[in-house]
Structure 1
Amino acid sequence: MGAPRARRWKLLLPPFQSSKRKPPLPPPPPPPVAVAPSPEKKEEEVVPEEFLCPISGSPMADPVILPPGRTFERACVDACAELSLSPPGASPAAAAIPNDALRAAIRTWHARSGRATPSPPSAAAARDAVLRARHTASARANAAAAVANLTLEPENRVPVVRAGAVPALVDVLSSSSAAAASPEACEHAAGALFGLALHEGNRAAIGVLGAVPPLLDLLTKINPDAATPRARRDAGMALYHLSLAAVNQSKLARSPSAAKNLLAIASSSSFTDPPIRRLALMVICNMAASTEGRAALMDAGAVATVTTILSNSNSEVEELCVAAMYGMSRGNPRFRALARAAGADRPLILVAEKANAGAHKEMARKTLRVVLGLGDYNDSGDLPDFMNSEGNVNGGVPVHRRRAASWAAAPPVATPTTPSSHQWRSVCID
């Protein structure tokens, strides 16, 4: 027998898997399905106008009817009564009638729209809404006209300032609210400040309360159509009287571009209203009364500008030009060199020789002596009386303001006794 064969073993192994094999791809995403937009994403429905209170502009929680048939929020009606005001288009003394039908309609509409039922406003919120509704352009014009009428009486000028009216008038003229205010409101505000500035005791306080910059801006607007002629004249007269106080002379001197803008108006030939140029020169004369004002004017080229005006102008502004030159010549060694460079000696010689005897001829003579080196820089003489005359400019007296009144016929006006008699600014009465 042969040798036995070796036993063979059969191994059962799992199928070999390579580690480099890529994983299977994920199944493709299902195709997009168009879904209709939910009701929440729809455009919010506008509240019907008849559901809104005319005063607050919000949906009414407790609507009431006032004669002759208008509906308001009850809290706003109570706020009007508390402030002694009349709801717009309604009688103030009428009894409020609850409008149950409208209240049910408002609640039904809010429930259908998925909104919360409106709640009545608080007393403070209703009071604020009433006051905001009163601040319309027409209301501001009426209020400014009423203040302007009060300032016509001399005994009212100090109490009006102490009552705090100046900040409100300044706010009407300020650049931030002048665009929203009507031209009538700006005109009446300028007239009110003019009337208040006539009292010498008010001038410093008005300047401290910030009236100088908006008045200066109104007077020196480059575009003549940017303000009414009366508004410009009243602003100029107010600025002139305010600049009689030393504290306001300093404010004008320190105001950016004040001297430059005043000189531009005084030398401009585009204005069809000559009093505007005279007013600018009058304010320049008052600025020249202070050391700071003289320095600011000379830095802005006032000597050359006034010399040019004096050489080319007629007698209407001759006195003011001479007064301005005289004011700048006092206490400032720079004046002589600037005046000689501008040729100021020639027009001054003509005025000193040909003008009638008076204050401005004497000022021209003294100023000429300074230009020629024959006078003293420290002449401390005051400006003549004609500079302090309210009749130097047409319309130099504040006028009564007339606005569209609610009565059928205008009230009788007093017979004029002087060319500058008052004309009422009447206020609309609801």
Structure 2
Amino acid sequence: METGVLVQKLIDTINAISKISDYRFVVKKQYTSLARKLKLLLPLFEEIKDFVDQINVDTHGENQQQNNDHDEDYDDLMKSLMGFKLALDSAVNLLTFGSQGSRIYLVLEREQTMRKYQEISARLEQSLSGIILGKLDMSDEVMEQVDLVISQFRRAKGLVDPHDVDLFVDLISVYRESSGANTDAAVLRRLAEKLHLMDINDLKRESEALHEMVASKGDDPGGRIEKISMLLKKIKDFVLSESPDIINGEKVTPSSEKCQASNLKNSKSLAVPDDFRCPISLEMMRDPVTVSTGQTYERGCIEKWVEAGHVTCPKTQQSLTNLTLTPNYVLRSLISKWCESNGLESPKRTGNCGAYATTSFCTPAERAKVGILLRKLQSGNLEDQRSAAGELRLLAKKNADNRICITEAGAIPLLIGLLTTVDRRTQEHAVTALLNLSICEDNKSCIITSGALPGIVHVLKKGSMEGRENAAATLFSLSVLDANKATIGSSGAITPLVALLEEGSQRGKKDAATALFNLCKYQGNKGKAVRAGLAPALLKLLKEPGASMADESVAILSMLASHTEGKAAIGAADGALSTLVNLIGSGSPRNRENATSVLVRLCSSEQKHLIEAQELGIMGPLLDLAENGTERGKRKAAQLLECINRFIETRKLADAEATEHVQG
């Protein structure tokens, strides 16, 4: 198998692992931690893939000795990666069973399962440690990340949380009983509750998991799985006898059973206001959402209606101009208050961007004011929309409570709708309000999932300078979440950010640079940034008098240099090496180390860069950095000096061989 193909398989496997979820409670903590550690390794294998691709290009133009060196590096890398792949394949099987396997089996065999988990973790740590990163020209960020993961693997050795002894004792006692023995109902209840087998669907999945084990093993030595199946049957019979209505798929849990019964009884005796009922199900709404016609429905009901292919409003029969479902937080609040005043449990809503871990402490008057502003946003009157968006912008800037209150009221989708308005002032207010709302961590994901990116990118491309600056700042704020970096990069935001970096005001350039810095932390965005012309734009900023953007520019260049296309683009830019050499001689400590980091990558792959750097007088500044720089600066200077010395020795050897050949 070619190294490039192998690395791609590793990337695909880790991506597949990141999609596995809902680990059984018995192993949830350990398996979630393992999956998280493996996901952190994605940037490593993406950079290794770039390294391998570059070697394949470089070897066509190198001498035999250099090719031999590459062959040795290739062999060592291939062995390490093959060892990691074998351990990773075992981890996939382990994690898949932890997500889909039998809960009962995992409890009974927890000791064996944890032993296997420890063995696989040790194999992953050992094979990962065997990959010699120093030879691979990895970025500092990736090397630090890998060191962190390795240390986490080492710390995890022997650390296993104590299991639920009572659960194990109950299970083993029923497991050892004969099939016809009467089992204590209290024991069966505890088992059903602790194993989360109070739902008919969960019972079916547990049964299917056991059948899958038999099918995969081909047999059942000692009848172990058969005994577990009989144990499961006892739990199922008990659950059905206690709650026969779950055959219809209704979930019964100790914490909710009494509340549901009470709610059912009380709601039947109370007249639920018609406005609180979904027009489709006629039941009280838990998660009310408003469609484009202005009608409100229960989210699940209207989603099923749309999924069935309908494109009209169920109540008015008007065509739906779009399929956006806007949460109706005002109605939800009214329903909750009505339930509380009538002694009913407040309806539990499904997870969405309005479900906050924190609560707003806005006064009723402030909430009422927000409600008035939202109605103005929906009015269609341009003056009202402009003034309302401006007020929301200021309120969101004021404090965290306001940000939560504004979002809970349903402002985000309405503000998004104003991003494409022809009125630039309204556009500025809307994008800045979203920027201020994004300061709240809960709002970052909400803004993305509500479909804000196309509108923000529109403002970034075509808005006023203030609008463009604030759009860039919004993208920076949203990109703080790693999950958003790839999404933003795929939205077409990078090219207009580079344009703002080149033509914006000083503040605009700063906003664009910080957004690009964050986005380029994701390996997949680096190529997009390079193709958008980011490298020459950054070098141009470094050449400006005073170089006020030097810190941001050289930091981003350092990241781009870890990408094959980025390295080539920097090397091809006019005056790149002289700019970097000057920076090493006279820049700030952080800029000197970043400039050296870029040169290490350029000179390691292209001898012409090494020669040019020497001609530009790099040795003096480099020796000074090696002695007086920051720790990272000293390390980078040492790497570049080693590269230069190796090149000088190679040239001496080549000259000696040439002289000997002539004399001979």
Query: TM-score w.r.t. structure 2 length?
Result: 0.34
* Aligned twin of 2:564: 291
Contact 2:555–2:591 under 8 Å retained in 1: no
| Letter paired with 2:636 | M
Residues 365 and 141 (structure 1), Cα distance of their counterparts in 2 relative to 1, 3 Å cut: same
* Pair 1:267 & 2:543 matched: yes
Q: Secondary structure at the match of 1:198?
A: coil
1:204 pairs with 458, 464, 486, which one?
Answer: 486
Task: Report whether the alignment pairs 1:219 with 2:501.
Answer: yes
Q: Does 1:239 align with 2:523?
A: no
- Find 1:160's aligned residue among 436, 443, 447: 447
Kindly provide the amino acid, as one letter, of the partner of residue 526 in structure 2.
Q
Counterpart of 2:469, as a letter, is: E
Of residues 156-165 and 139-148 in structure 1, the stretch that sits farther from structure 2 once superposed is 156-165
Sequence identity percentage: 26
1:88 Cα offset (Å): 5.0
What secondary structure sits across from 2:378 in the alignment?
coil
Q: Distance in 2 between matches of 1:150 and 1:81?
A: 19
CA distance in 2, matches of 1:132, 1:319: 41
Q: Residue deviations 1:93-132, cap 9 Å, x none?
A: xxxxxxxxxxxxxxxxxxxxxxxxxxxxxxxxxxxxx989
Give 1:328 deviation, angstroms.
3.0
CA deviation string 1:126-151 (max 9, x = no partner): xxxx9899531111011111111122
Say whether 1:190 aligns with 2:477: no
Match in the other structure for 2:644: 371
- Whether contact under 8 Å (1:336, 1:373) holds in the other structure is no
Which sections of structure 2, spanning at least 5 residues, go unmatched? Answer: 1-373, 386-416, 650-664
> Is the CA contact 2:593–2:636 (under 8 Å) kept in the aligned structure 1?
no
Partner of 1:50: none
**1:353 counterpart residue number:** 627
Map 1:25-174; keep pairs closer than 5 Å. Answer: 84-85=378-379, 87=381, 135-174=422-461
The answer as to whether partners of 2:420 and 2:455 remain within 8 angstroms in 1 is no
Match of 1:249 among 523, 526, 540: 526
Shift, 1:191, TM fit: 0.8
Distance 1:131 1:284 in 2: 35
Note the C-alpha offset of 1:295.
Answer: 1.0
CA distance in 1, matches of 2:618, 2:640: 10
Bigger Rg over Cα: 1
- CA shift in 2, pair 1:330/1:147, >3 Å: farther
Structure-2 separation of matches of 1:219 and 1:318: 22
C-alpha spacing 1:131/1:285, structure 2 compared with 1 (3 Å): closer
The Cα shift of 1:166 comes to 1.4
Paired with 2:577 and 2:454, the residues of 1 have a C-alpha distance of 36
Cα distance change, pair 233–303 in 1 and its aligned pair in 2 (3 A): same
More helix by share: 2
Q: Distance in 2 between matches of 1:375 and 1:239?
A: 38
Aligned to 2:552: 279
CA change 1:329–1:204 in 2 (3 A) is farther
Give the CA deviation at 1:254.
Answer: 2.3
- Rounded to whole Å, the distance in 1 between the matches of 2:535 and 2:445 is 30
Q: State the one-letter code of the partner of 1:219.
A: L
CA distance in 1, matches of 2:418, 2:552: 38
Question: How far has the Cα of 1:286 moved from its partner?
Answer: 0.9
TM-superposed CA distance for 1:241, in Å, is 0.8
1:349-371 Cα shifts (integer Å, max 9, x gaps): 11002225x11211111112112
Alpha-carbon distance between aligned partners in 2 of 1:139 and 1:278, rounded to the nearest angstrom: 34
- Go from structure 1 to structure 2 and tell me whether the alpha carbon gap of 1:318 and 1:131 turns closer, same or farther (over 3 Å shift): closer
Q: Could you tell me how far apart the structure 2 residues matched to 1:161 and 1:147 are?
A: 11
Change (3 A) 1:335 1:278: same
Amino acid at match of 1:339: A
Partners in 2 of 1:266 and 1:243 — Cα distance? Answer: 19
Seen in structure 2, the aligned counterparts of structure 1 residues 330 and 160 have a Cα distance that, compared at 3 Å, is farther
For 1:337-348, list aligned pairs within 5 A: 337-348=611-622
Unaligned runs of 5+ in 1: 1-79, 92-129, 377-430
Offset at residue 303 of structure 1 (A): 2.4
Partner-residue secondary structure (3-state), 1:164:
coil
2-side partners of 1:238 and 1:307: how far apart?
26
Q: Which amino acid aligns with 2:519?
A: L
Aligned length, in residue pairs: 244
The alpha-carbon distance between structure 1 residues 268 and 133, as it changes in their structure 2 partners (threshold 3 A), is closer
1:299 and 1:88, CA in 2 relative to 1: closer, same or farther beyond 3 A? closer
Partners of 2:420 and 2:634 in 1: CA distance: 58
Instruction: Give the 3-state SS of the residue equivalent to 2:646 in structure 1.
Output: coil
For 2:607 and 2:622, the matched residues in 1 are separated by: 18
Whole-Å separation in 1 of the counterparts to 2:377 and 2:542:
48
The alpha-carbon deviation at position 85 of structure 1 amounts to: 1.3
Separation (CA, whole Å) in 1 of partners of 2:512 and 2:384? 38
Q: Output the aligned Cα RMSD.
A: 3.1
Which moves more between the two structures, 261-270 or 204-213?
Answer: 261-270
Residues 375 and 206 (structure 1 numbering): CA distance in 2 closer, same or farther, change over 3 Å? farther
CA distance, structure 2, for counterparts of residue 318 and residue 278 of structure 1: 10
1 CA distance for matches of 2:635 and 2:499?
A: 34
- C-alpha distance in 2 between matches for 1:321 and 1:90: 51
SS in 2 for 1:269: coil
C-alpha displacement at 1:270, in angstroms?
Answer: 5.0
2:584·2:593 contact (CA, 8 Å) conserved in 1?
A: no
Change (3 A) 1:133 1:195: closer
1:148 & 1:364 partners in 2: Cα distance?
A: 40
Residue among 362, 366, 383 paired with 2:635? 362
SS in 2 for 1:317: helix
CA contact (8 A) 1:243 1:249 kept: yes
CA contact (8 A) 1:266 1:278 kept: no
Report the Cα distance in structure 1 between the residues aligned to 2:541 and 2:418, rounded to whole angstroms: 40
Aligned residue identity for 2:439: L
Structure 2 Cα separation of the partners of residues 252 and 83 of structure 1: 36
Moved more, 260-269 or 307-316: 307-316
- Corresponding letter in the other structure for 2:472: A
Q: Structure 1 residues 294 and 89 mapped into 2: Cα distance closer, same or farther (>3 Å)?
A: closer
Q: 1:297 to 1:351 in 2, by over 3 A?
A: same
Aligned partner of residue 85 in structure 1, secondary structure: coil
State the 1:282 CA deviation: 1.2
- C-alpha offsets along residues 139-170 of structure 1, whole Å, 9 cap, x if unaligned? 10111111111221223222322222112111
1:232/1:284 Cα in 2 relative to 1: closer, same or farther (>3 Å)? same
Distance 1:165 1:259 in 2: 28
* Structure-2 change in CA distance of 1:330 and 1:162 (3 Å): farther
Could you give the per-residue CA deviations for residues 328-366 of structure 1, whole angstroms, max 9, x where no partner exists?
A: 34555554233223332221111002225x112111111
- Letter matched to residue 510 of structure 2: R
User: Aligned equivalents of 1:131 and 1:188: distance in 2?
Assistant: 15
Distance in 2 between the 1:322 and 1:89 partners?
Answer: 54
